[in-house]
Each structure stands twice: as structure tokens, then as C-alpha cells.
Chains A and B, each alone.
Chain A
Amino acid sequence: MSASAGDKSKPVDHAGAAAAFVADTPHLAFHDRRLWELRQKRDGQMHVLPEWQALRSLASAIKEHTLSRLADYLEQFEAQVTARGVTVHWARDAEEHNAIVLRIMRDHKAKTIAKSKSMLTEECEMVPYLARHGITTTETDLGERIQQLDGEAPSHIVVPSVHKLREDVARVFARTIGGDPNNADPHALAEHARVTTRPLMLDADIGMTGANFLVAETGAVVVCTNEGNADLSANLPKVHIVSAGIEKLVPRQADLGVFVRLLSRSALGSPITQYTSHFRGPRVGAEMHIILVDNGRSQRLGEDDFWTSLKCIRCGACMNTCPVYRRSGGLSYGAVYSGPIGAIINPSYDPVRYSTLPFASTLNGSCTNVCPVKINIHDQLYKWRRVIAERGLLPKNKSLSLRIAGHVLASPRLYRLATGAARLAVRYLPRALLYSKLNSWGRDREVPAAPQESFAAWAARNRPAKKP
């Protein structure tokens, strides 16, 4: 899996991976267009609802309230579901989560899992862990299935294979589950996935889903999907395991009237997902397990500048709107969570490895504007940059140029000298020197033409100092 591949002690080379993505024109053009289309569909839904901004404010306030009393709501949720025969497990980290799943599998002498989409299980690297213990997991969401068959991590939290073209999918299928590599008709490909995945779901020993929301008041696990694969994975096998992050709680059932109205509209620009399903207990004769996972969340809860990122409902709107994400692809982030939300979540897991990600942004703030739970994403990107600089994690050329800039900007005399020199440099230096490796800004852009005189000189000539 690319998210876990490579030297983990080195920072992710986001810019390098993005350069490779940008060089592939057909893929780049489709990726950019498709994600912008999702953003526009989201805007269309926003304009249908006069209460849109009020819903965002409510969603934000409900989440902040819940996070401020998270332990109480988790206990309430646990009491609700255990009363109806659900077994609740708690996992401090990925390792404990994976061990719990393995133990449930062994208790049932189970070998196969049918699984719907869950970013948490990606975070825990569960599928490779279970594979090492002889357990086969089938991803049943189409995009996830494509990524699994191709040995790649999902590149987007909602549309995992959005960076692939239909021909790529045809080649992956031909190589792994059969089919004509030259028939790239999406309908034929989806049908092939349907007829080859269904038997695996019918035969699976255990079904697994993630969770979009956990309702403390009623003990409902809410799963929002479109393909029907999550409901099949949960309802076919005798055992249903839910993996859920502890931040998924909402206090009241009525709160779903806010979040369900926002989620799919923000994610895909559709009024609701095809299936909004609520699991409160096992079927007759079946078992249901819920694993509540911390894995760094309680740590982040105590970080003044970053705890509100736990409000995230994983809609992906910030990714769809981000000009950097659209033109670099999710895999270039080298992390489970990509895009703007990934760039503020990942560094709290590993500040060295993900030190480059908060810089994969223009700080335009579009992510913050579309976020349905009003996370101040671009502020947090900026604050992460400061943390990374303070910890001495900036790459050499960046820290050196920023240190020099700091000196120059702090001294009017140095500033005048520098800008004077820059005007001359732009005018008279040969291109080879001006666009050297040191000028990373000029790598893909023309340096603007230098004015004849500085603003200070112009002002001195045209605006003689007034007498006090």
C-alpha cells in the first residue's frame, strides 16, 4: 500500500509526487474536472436550502459540544448498545484494534471478511495485518475494490479511485479478476465487479462496516452509502463488526436531522445517500460488535489549536475544492487522509513524516468555506507550519530563505537595499541565472517585470512630506 510504503522516517515528498501527477495530462485533466464538478454539485445543493449556513453553524456547535463532553456521551452510547446485546470493545491504538478483530475472527473460526468502506481500518492498516494472519478481506465498495485489486491506497476518502480513468480500471480487472482489458465501458466494468463481488459477500464469515455517526441517545450506528454493499456486508454474515473512531458521536437522534442533511450534499452534491442505515443491535441469531478506537484522537483533543479537526465528518468537500489537491492527486500526500483535512490531521500522528503536507496549500481558505462543520482548516494549516518551523522540521532551503527574509523584512534599510537589488536582478540577470534552482517560485512562472523605481522613491517624488 502506498500510504505505508517508503521510508517512514523521511518527510513525504508531496511536491515530487505531485509533479509526476501533473506531468500526466489526461489523468490530471479528468481529476481536476471531476472533483470540480463535485464541488459545483455541492454548491447547487447549498443553494436549494435557505437554511444551509444555519445548518453548518448547528453542526459545528453540536460537534464542539459533543467533543467537550465526549467521555460522557461514549458511556451513554455504550450503555445503550450493550443493553441490546451488542459487544463493545475499546482500542487505544491501531494495534489493539487489529488484535480485537483478529480475536473475534478466531472465536468464530472465521477466515473471510466482507467489508465496506472505512477510513479507520485504512488508518489501522488492518487488511494487511489480517492477511498476515491468513484472513482474506474483500473490499465491497467499487472504488475501494478497484484500489485493493491494484494494490494501492484510496486516493480520496469518498471516491477512492477518482484518480483512475476507465482504461486503468479495465486493465486492473483484466489482471486480477478477469475480463477484457480493451472493454473500458464503465457499465460493463461495474457489472463485472457486481457479479464477482456478490458471491464473496454471500460466502463471507464476517461482515465489517465503518460508521458515519454514533447516536449516544439511542445507540444507533449510522452508515451512509450508495452502493448497497455496506448493508449487504452487515446483513448477510452472522457477525457484524463496526469500526468507529470515538469522535463519531452525536448526542441526540434529532441531530441526525442536521448531519444527514449536510453529509451527502457536501460530499457528492446529492440530497442524501441512497442508503442511510441505522444499526442498533444484532439480528435474531446474529452477533454485533462495535470497536471504539482512539488512535491519537484523545491526544488531539487536548491540542488547543487543532482539536476542532475532530469535528470532521469525512465528506471530502475540502479536497474537492482544493486547487492543490485537484492538481496533485490524493496519493501524492503519502498518507491515509489526503487533501486539506489530511494535511491538518496527519502531522499530529507523525510530525516528521508529514511535515511537508501543511505546505501543500495556497492558504486560499476555500476548504474552510465549504466545510459543513466549519473547521478552520486553512488557519490550522498555517498553525501547523509554525509548529513545524518551531520544531526545526522545515527543509534546509525553506528555513534558510525564511530566516533571511525575516532579517530583511525586519530592517527598513536592508529591505530597501534588497528590493533595489531585486529590481536590477530581474532586469539584467541572464535567464539561466534568474531561473536557477534557488528560485523555486520561478520554476513554473515568469517573474513579473521590475518597475523602474521603488514605491518609496515614487512617493518621495510625488507626495512631499506634509508639515505636521
Chain B
Amino acid sequence: MGRAQPSGEKAVSARDDILARIRARRPEGDFPLPTLPQFPGVMGDLLEVFTTNLAVMGGQCVHLPAGEPLGPFLRARLGRGRLIRSSTDELPEFSRTDDVASPGGLKDVHTGIVRARFGVAETGSVFLSDRELRVNTIAYLAQHLVVLLDPAAIIPGIADAYLRDDFTSANYVSLMTGPSATADIEGVLIRGAQGVRSLTVVFA
């Protein structure tokens, strides 16, 4: 880029200085970059493994009953009189996430609804990027988060996830695994630290 370096007033820019120092002190020897092997990985039914592992991380899974439409199912589950915002076009009955002027505008949301691109059985994680979230803060400012996930979109492991090009499709991607949590006071586990207090995956 053409912009001046922040330390441009000095004779040598900090950038060039640091890179030159690193090159001058390069460790001697041959350190080849290893090829990454494929490990056997997760065994068994991916949906079951995902559910078990998400529970370990404090998240829960719910199955949409066969034949029941998603909107009314969620409306009944989430109750009335609560501020619910959805980031997915498949649920026009809820107000939209991106209908706010700034990311902080979502601070009073009770429950956010998003659709994950895929899930990871090994850890019970869901893939959410700025495309799915629309406003990134919905996943953190809402008190509760409902994540829609197609059971067919569960992949075995974290290593498999990082072989996909989904990570380069967005400026922001998070692998979310359960609700926000802390154990910073005497190791006591608390769900709902600064982000959502609960995370529910709905298989739909």
C-alpha cells in the first residue's frame, strides 16, 4: 500500500528494520513444513456425537418434530412478549437483525435466531460468518441464541472444517461452541459471561 508507515519519520521504517533483523537471525538448519496427515477422527453417528459434545460445552439440541413448520414451532417455544430477532429469511414472522442503526442496537434482544452453515461433531461447534449473522453482535448481545442447523451439514472434525474454503468467504467467522462461559472466580463454571446465556441448536 502507498500509505506512509507509522514510524516513517525514522531513517529505516520499523517494518523494514524488523524484517531485516528476522532475516539476519534466521535459525540455522532445515525445518520443512510437514504435510498434514488425515487422522481417523470421529466415529459413529455424527448427529449423536455432535449432540453429546455440544452438551459438554453447555449447549443443547432440539429436533423439529416431523411435519411441523419451523416458525410456529419457534414462536411457541420462545413465548410472546419477548424481543426476538432473526438473521434468516426463512422466518419472516420475526423482526430482522439488520433492522438496527448500529451493532449496539441489538442490546435489548432476548433471543437471536441464526442459521449455521455447518456443524462440527468433534466439538459440537457451529460455523457462523458475517453472512449468516448479518450483524455480528446478534450472537453476543442477545441473552439467548437459537442456531438452526441442517443435520446433513454436520462434518466430523475441526481439522475437516479447516480444509473448507468457507473461512475465506467472509471477513468475520466464528466457530461457536455453546454459550459464553467463564470459570474465572474460583473455577466455578458460569454460563453467560459477557455473551449469550444459552445456545440451543434446532435441527431443521
Check if A and B associate: yes
Binding site for B on A (CB under 8 A): 30, 34, 37, 50-51, 54, 58, 61-62, 64-65, 67-71, 74-75, 82, 84, 87, 89-92, 96, 99-100, 103, 140-143, 146, 159-162, 164-166, 169, 186-187, 189-190, 194, 197-198, 201-202, 218, 220, 226-229, 231-232, 235-236, 246, 251, 253-258, 260-261, 268, 270-283, 292, 294, 298-299, 301-302, 304, 307
Known: A50-B40, A70-B22, A276-B125. A186 touches B161 (CB 8 A): no
Let me know if B140 and A274 touch, CB within 8 A.
no
A-B contact pairs, 24 of them (CB 8 A): A37-B187, A61-B32, A90-B15, A160-B184, A166-B188, A190-B193, A197-B194, A228-B195, A229-B195, A235-B136, A253-B168, A260-B158, A268-B183, A272-B125, A272-B158, A272-B175, A274-B195, A275-B177, A277-B175, A279-B172, A280-B173, A283-B103, A301-B26, A304-B27
Q: Chain B 171-198, CB within 8 Å of chain A: the 1/0 string? A: 1111111111111111110101111100
Let me know if A272 and B177 touch, CB within 8 A.
yes
Known: A226-B181, A236-B104. A298 touches B1 (CB 8 A): no
Q: What residues on B are CB-neighbors of A257 within 8 Å? A: 36, 157-163
Q: Chain B 98-127, CB within 8 Å of chain A: the 1/0 string? A: 000001100100000000000000110100
Instruction: Please report the C-alpha to C-alpha distance between residue A40 and residue B57 in the assembled complex, in whole angstroms.
Output: 18
Q: What residues on A are CB-neighbors of B178 within 8 Å? A: 274
Known: A70-B22, A186-B188, A227-B194. A254 touches B36 (CB 8 A): yes
Q: What residues on B are CB-neighbors of A275 within 8 Å? A: 174-177, 180, 195
Listed residue (A61, A69, A190) with the most chain B CB atoms within 10 angstroms of its CB: A190
Listed residue (B130, B168, B185) with the most chain A CB atoms within 10 angstroms of its CB: B185
Let me know if B186 and A186 touch, CB within 8 A.
yes
Closest chain A residue to B58 by CB distance? A274
A341 to chain B: closest CB distance in Å?
Answer: 19
Let me know if B194 and A61 touch, CB within 8 A.
no
Q: What residues on A are CB-neighbors of B1 within 8 Å? A: 82
Let me know if B193 and A194 touch, CB within 8 A.
yes
Instruction: Please report the C-alpha to C-alpha distance between residue A186 and residue B190 in the assembled complex, in whole angstroms.
Output: 8
Let me know if B194 and A92 touch, CB within 8 A.
no
Q: Chain B 142-153, CB within 8 Å of chain A: the 1/0 string? A: 000000000000
Q: What residues on A are CB-neighbors of B36 within 8 Å? A: 58, 254-255, 257-258
Let me know if A301 and B175 touch, CB within 8 A.
no
B184 to chain A: closest CB distance in Å?
Answer: 4
Listed residue (B33, B193, B194) with the most chain A CB atoms within 10 angstroms of its CB: B194
> Main secondary structure on chain B at its contact with chain A?
loop
Determine if B14 is an interface residue (Cβ-Cβ < 8 Å): yes
Binding site for A on B (CB under 8 A): 1, 3, 5-7, 13-15, 17-19, 21-27, 29, 31-34, 36-37, 39-40, 53, 56-58, 103-104, 107, 122-123, 125, 130, 136-137, 139-141, 157-163, 167-168, 170-188, 190, 192-196
Let me know if A277 and B174 touch, CB within 8 A.
yes
Q: What residues on B are CB-neighbors of A271 within 8 Å? A: 53, 56-57, 122-123, 177
Closest chain B residue to A278 by CB distance? B173
Q: What residues on B are CB-neighbors of A197 within 8 Å? A: 194
Instruction: Please report the C-alpha to C-alpha distance between residue A37 and residue B181 in the assembled complex, in whole angstroms.
Output: 18
Known: A37-B187, A235-B137. A100 touches B6 (CB 8 A): yes
Let me know if B14 and A92 touch, CB within 8 A.
yes
Let me know if A231 and B139 touch, CB within 8 A.
yes
Instruction: Please report the C-alpha to C-alpha distance between residue A220 and residue B167 in the assembled complex, in whole angstroms.
Output: 9
Q: What residues on A are CB-neighbors of B186 within 8 Å? A: 30, 34, 164-166, 186
Known: A255-B36, A261-B158. A231 touches B140 (CB 8 A): yes
Closest chain A residue to B189 by CB distance? A186
Let me know if B194 and A274 touch, CB within 8 A.
no
Top 7 closest pairs, chain A to chain B, by CB: A228-B195, A302-B25, A257-B159, A228-B180, A227-B193, A143-B184, A281-B171
Instruction: Please report the C-alpha to C-alpha distance between residue A87 and residue B136 in the assembled complex, in whole angstroms.
Output: 21
Let me know if A90 and B14 touch, CB within 8 A.
yes
